[in-house]
Amino acid sequence: MKDIVKRATDIALSGVALLVLSPLLLLIALLIRLDTRGPVLFIQRRVGRNLEPFRIYKFRTMQDRNADAIDPLAETVVCSGRDPRITRVGRFLRAMSLDELPQLLNILKGDMSLVGPRPVLVEQVEAVPDKYMKRFAVRPGLTGLAQVRGRRSVGWLDQLALDVHYVERAGIGFDFWLMLATVYVVVTFRDIYGGTEQNWRQYRGTQRRDDVGESE
């Protein structure tokens, strides 16, 4: 019953948000096209509930590159808005987390939820130790406990621990509290960028997983 209520809430709120925010979404799309050459959306393969892969939608905030050609293992961490890979419009979108708004479509499709652990890259799964695999028991979220507790500044293992804590405590009341807390974190520009310390790449091989499906 709890899952049904959560899914109904996701559909209702994401649908209303898409309708209300449609002028803003169109404006952002226009600004991206005027700022740099390339597509408006950045589409990337992520891992969701029960390790099922899906395509996530984000507004493009970096210089145009083919997402499928990017090697996450070779990419350096984005530590500040001065990173040359980030566009002028992208700096603002990242600061306000507006680049994540297209994921409202992922929520309507059922790939994601409004609240839950953030969806990880396929390459990150092997950096998740067994004791944290419970994070994959729920749909990934647009926001979550780790985002409220430190956003991008939270170390990898701490993020996973917060994800598991969310799964064990998940409920509609907790979800609404996290949504409100997310608004505060965003409008105060807290923890927009993280450092290189405790990055997930340091934990690769901790727990290698071969059960991530190849089909979409």
At 93-147, the pLDDT tens digits run 988 889 999 999 999 999 999 999 999 999 899 999 999 999 999 999 999 999 8
The pTM score is 0.83
- Residue 210 within any structural domain of the chain: no
- Residue 85 within any structural domain of the chain: yes
Domain containing residue 171: 2-203
- Residue 208 within any structural domain of the chain: no
Q: From residue 14, how far is each of 19, 26, 142, 165 by CA, in Å?
A: 9, 16, 10, 24
Amino acid identity of residue 182, one-letter, is: T
SS3 40: coil
Strand partners, 43: 57
Q: Whole-angstrom Cα distance, residue 154 to residue 150? A: 5
- pLDDT tens digits, residue range 110-120? 999 999 999 99
- Residue 38 within any structural domain of the chain: yes
Q: From residue 126, how far is each of 84, 133, 157, 175, 200 by CA, in Å?
A: 29, 10, 13, 28, 10
- Residue 162 within any structural domain of the chain: yes
Q: How many domains does the chain have?
A: 1
Q: Whole-angstrom Cα distance, residue 170 to residue 158? A: 18
CB-based contacts of 172, cutoff 8 Å, min separation 6: 2, 5, 6, 9
Q: Whole-angstrom Cα distance, residue 54 to residue 96? A: 25
Token code pair at residue 110: 């059922």
Asked if 34 and 28 count as a contact pair (C-beta separation under 8 A), the reply is: no
- Residue 213 within any structural domain of the chain: no
pLDDT under 70: residue ranges of the chain: 65-82, 189-198, 205-216
